[in-house]
Chain A
Amino acid sequence: DGGITQSPKYLFRKEGQNVTLSCEQNLNHDAMYWYRQDPGQGLRLIYYSQIVNDFQKGDIAEGYSVSREKKESFPLTVTSAQKNPTAFYLCASTILGRRTESYTFGSGTRLTVV
């Protein structure tokens, strides 16, 4: 079955440590996205990529970095510059140019600073 796989499901980060969240899709979708969700709030866009080797900042990119070396993969690194990284991180993807297509979401990674 096609879908988006995020790993790990739970991640603990120490102060000053960089961590990387994995997002892989086998839907042959063009665009991939990273969203952050804080408790009781909506989703905010961190970074997105519409084509391999290219990506754009979203609304809250500071303290995060991404790469898009393959169409199916879009890892997110939470750097030590992100002062409040505890949140639920969701990866999404979609096909470009097909108006009827929704955005598909992964199952999420819950990141906690310890």
Chain B
Amino acid sequence: ELKVEQNPLFLSMQEGKNYTIYCNYSTTSDRLYWYRQDPGKSLESLFVLLSNGAVKQEGRLMASLDTKARLSTLHITAAVHDLSATYFCAVDPKRPNDYKLSFGAGTTVTVRA
């Protein structure tokens, strides 16, 4: 069974500082996804990472994937209040003709002044 672990589960950020969320997974995969969820809302796609060494950036968020270490990181640069949300990583196991996502527990981010 694929296990996806995120840490930390809760992250209190100070505005203007940098932080990293880690996502470890237990089986071979080169398909990793990051989503954002605001309270009571659905999931918004942030990044799709599809190869070892993949790096994607959007605004203050940057995600990377190391398939050998089975690790993805979501780096937040100079945190701002608008980034307060819950962030999920999800992994699609590398099985032919069987596409589905397994999610981490999520990291709840609160940005304070």
Question: A: which residues have CB within 8 A of B?
Answer: 31, 33, 35, 40-45, 48, 50, 58, 90, 92, 94, 96, 99-108
Contact = CB atoms under 8 A, between A and B. Distances in A.
A75 to B, nearest CB: 18
Best-buried of A90, A99, A100 by chain B (most CB within 10 Å): A99
A103 B101 contact: yes
Contacts of B100: 33, 45, 48, 58
A94 B99 contact: yes
B31 interface: yes
Given A42-B104, A43-B88, A102-B48, A107 B41 contact: yes
Contacts of A40: 106, 108
Contacts of B45: 102-104
Contacts of A50: 97-99
19 contacts: A33-B101, A35-B103, A40-B108, A41-B106, A42-B4, A42-B88, A42-B104, A42-B106, A43-B43, A44-B103, A50-B97, A90-B42, A92-B43, A92-B101, A96-B99, A99-B31, A100-B50, A102-B45, A103-B101
A43 B103 contact: yes
Interface of B: 4, 31, 33, 35, 41-43, 45, 48, 50, 88, 90, 97-106, 108
Contact of A99 (B50, B101, B103): B50
A103 B42 contact: no
A68 B102 CA distance: 22
A103 B100 CA distance: 9
A108 B42 contact: yes
Nearest to B97: A50
